[in-house]
A and B are shown apart, each in its own frame.
Chain A
């Protein structure tokens, strides 16, 4: 068939999420098998834990750690303090999601054997094109 599908992105690929965070400018990212406590701006240990952590020293002097907690169903929940949401606002989150979506698309195509044809930006929208030579 030929079809259009609208897909709402959910963070569930750790590798692609880390890649997207790096694309957003954070090069030092901790990835833990078991969730670790986040650290607050007073260097205090927070109750919140996360598997993927950007330490506050990489964010800003008055910042808290930013984390992504892997849930039992494999999805990730973003943990950002109210203070840090001033810098990491909805626009920042949307940019991150777009980069994650691109990373997952490229990875999925690669794993499934689709041939990458092109990447274009049309009216601000990233367009990734692949050919399917298998089916």
Chain B
């Protein structure tokens, strides 16, 4: 499973932040995005990376 990282970059010219989420697939990180957006203020711009539309892989356990 890919490492999921969150990079928050604070612009000294404005004091505002950019939140960069990496390693997530599918819509699983929407909650993380919302957590930081709500805590900091208002999300003004959102850009989805290509992985956004990937469906997360699932592991199925079979009991024998």
Q: Which residues of A contact B (CB under 8 A)?
A: 1-10, 12-13, 93-98, 100-102, 104-105, 107-109, 112, 114, 117, 124-133, 135
Contact = CB atoms under 8 A, between A and B. Distances in A.
A8 B15 CA distance: 8
Contacts of A1: 21, 24-30, 48-49, 51-53
16 contacts: A2-B23, A2-B49, A2-B52, A3-B24, A3-B47, A3-B49, A5-B20, A7-B37, A7-B43, A94-B15, A98-B15, A101-B17, A108-B35, A125-B9, A130-B6, A131-B4
Contacts of B47: 3-5
Nearest to B32: A132
A107 B51 CA distance: 28
Interface of B: 3-33, 35-37, 39-53
Contacts of B24: 1-3, 132, 135
Contacts of A8: 16, 40-44
B41 A10 contact: yes
Given A94-B14, A97-B15, A127-B8, A3 B41 contact: no
Given A2-B23, A4-B45, 20 more contacts: A2-B49, A3-B20, A3-B47, A4-B49, A5-B18, A5-B37, A6-B44, A6-B45, A8-B43, A97-B16, A98-B10, A100-B15, A101-B10, A108-B36, A108-B39, A128-B7, A129-B7, A129-B8, A132-B29, A135-B4
Contact of A117 (B5, B43, B50): B5
Contact of B6 (A10, A13, A93, A129): A129
In terms of DSSP, what is the predominant structure of the interface of chain A?
A: mixed
A13 B39 contact: yes
Contacts of B42: 7-8, 10
Contacts, number: 168
B50 to A, nearest CB: 8
